[in-house]
Amino acid sequence: MKKRSLWLITALMTIALLGVFVMQLYYIREAYRLKSQLFEQEVNQVLSAVADKVQRLNAVNHINKKDLEWRIKMENQRRDRTRRLIDLDQNYKELERKRKYDQRKQMIDELNYQDEMIRKMYLSPTIISEADFYALENRATTPLNVDVNVGFDANLNMIGSNVQKTFRLGSVKTFDIEPKKLPDSIRYLVYSRYDSRPLRVSLPSLNGDMRLKFKVEDEIANRRRNHALKELQADTVRLLDEGSFNVIEAAAKEMSQLDIPLAQRVSKGTLDTLLRAELANKNINLAYDFWLKSLVSDRLVFRKISSLQGEILPANTYKTALFSNDVLRDPGMLYINFPNKSAAIFNNLSVTMASSAGLLIVLISIFSYTLYAILRQKKIAEMKSDFINNMTHEFKTPVSTIMIASEALRDPEIQEDKSRISRLAGIIYDENVRLGNHIERVLSIARLDKKELKLETEDVEMNSLIAAVADSMSLQLQKKEATLTLNLNASNALVTGDELHLSNVIYNLIDNANKYSIDPPQITLSTKNAGKCLYIDIEDKGIGMTKEQCKRAFDQFYRVPTGNLHDVKGFGLGLNYVQDIITQMNGTIKLKSEKDKGTIFEIIIPLK
């Protein structure tokens, strides 16, 4: 009945799990369909945006092209006018420099001529300063005494005056063309050839005729320069009038031409850049292929392939007219294909699928744990049933023996035989002790489970304790002709623990080694020190255990199958008890075993 209920629960849980799994698949399929529709909408929006941008970019390119052409033309014209203006200015300055040079040369030549005439007409002509000239004018009418020196120096003395002023006259100089400033009039001190009287002579630097001539030449030059400037200004006005050139109209006129091919209206790189940017705006990070075809000739203009594997699937291809506003010209058809569209949609569904997978894993885990718990409970129930059967057998044997001995004691004949009474009383006592030990073992396990077992901590010398336990088990070992070898090599075997329970631990391990052997048991018990711990090894050459049995050896109620050994008795509590005691003493126990080759138990206990 219980077995049928177990399978019924398992079947119901399996059906429920399959139902949840089917619902998850349906949900994922619907989510995939909705994501596909959303993906198609986004791709169509991308294509519309790209087509719109291509048309605007095409118009902008034409406008920019015409604007650039006009600007280059205007810039060239400005540069030409600037260059002409610079040339005009340079030419004017060069002509002015040459004219001024010629004018000065004429002035110097005239001055030199006049100077030569003065020198021929007078004696010792000397150029004097303006101040000296007027000083001579203000002097008394008394004739000047002139002392002519070789170097044309003269001392002029005022006669009939308390003050005498001496003029140092320099040597006669001829005028040169060097650009130095000349006074308006050149003043001379000369002497008459007739009576050697000092005379003043004034010579204008630039006479009136020459001054008028020079003025006319300057005015003619200025008029020519002004005329050239007016011509340049007129060109500038015409240039400004050309600034009313309408770039948009010129671009529209160029765009309306019918013979512009698609390849010139849009480039492959521009399309790729626009598509990549728009797809990124929609969070579509997928490899894609695109190509442009002519609707008029159905000719492929260009294409871009990101993956050469597989054929382009029509279901993953989207298209749009590139120049939809063109009526007379070829609008072109832009196609885009996503080879990994399904991967993209599944990536978008990653959170949904992850949650679904997580829920499914949780359900499977719960199902597995439940199934494991049911099977474990079943095994525990079987182990408990075996334990009860073994306990009943173990309890029934001493009880039966005590009953038989008690009935024998009631026999009048036996009552008169004191030796037989004593032997029967001994049997009753031994069986009673045996029964009490069984009960105590069961109660100890119960107290360990409830954490109610309190250990008495004291210093225990393990070498001595092991020797004492081995000696107490000598008769039991002799029954099976067992050989027990003690290698108590630990120099320090003093630990802190409960001596009674430690002796039970050693007893249980030696007893297991003695029971689980087909041939006469060979048991080796050794101790050693390593670090701050005591190592106790119990090794036998018995039937051993498999890896699976080793994993469960310390489980409560678990007993290793003994095969052909039918005399092995026990409750399946010994190793569980051993592990609990060693753990409570801050130690560890390890198990190494190989089927049909033997077993090694290693106990590690901290030293005092």
pLDDT score for 153: 33
* Check whether domain 368-453 has CATH 1.10.287.130, yes or no: yes
Tens digit of pLDDT for each residue in 124-160?
888 888 888 888 776 644 334 333 332 333 333 332 3
Residues carrying CATH 3.30.565.10, the chain: 455-606
d(CA 554, CA 598): 17
pLDDT score for 304: 75
Q: Quick one: tokens of 261?
A: 């091919």
pLDDT score for 464: 93
pLDDT score for 491: 92
Q: In CATH, what class is 455-606?
A: alpha beta
pTM of the model: 0.37
pLDDT score for 544: 87
Q: Quick one: tokens of 80?
A: 């030409």
Residues carrying CATH 1.10.287.130, the chain: 368-453
Q: Residues with Cβ < 8 Å from 554, sequence gap 6 or more?
A: 575, 576, 578, 579, 589, 591
pLDDT score for 557: 64
Whether the CA torsion 25, 27, 33, 38 is positive or negative: it is negative
CB atoms within 10 A of CB 544: 20
**DSSP-assigned letter for residue 494:** E
> Which portions of the chain are predicted below pLDDT 70?
1-7, 59, 62, 138-174, 179, 235-259, 264, 305-315, 325-329, 343-344, 346-350, 352-353, 379-398, 400, 430, 433-434, 437-438, 440-454, 556-573
pLDDT score for 447: 56
- From residue 221, alpha-carbon distances to 225, 269, 346, 470 in Å are 6, 62, 88, 143
Q: Beta strand 494-497 with 458-461: parallel, antiparallel or unpaired?
A: antiparallel
- From residue 133, alpha-carbon distances to 139, 144, 155, 477 in Å are 10, 14, 15, 163
d(CA 572, CA 595): 19
pLDDT, mean over the chain: 75
Tens digit of pLDDT for each residue in 168-195?
333 444 577 776 778 888 888 899 888 8
Judged on CB neighbours under 10 Å (0-12, 13-18, 19+), 459 is exposed
pLDDT score for 75: 80
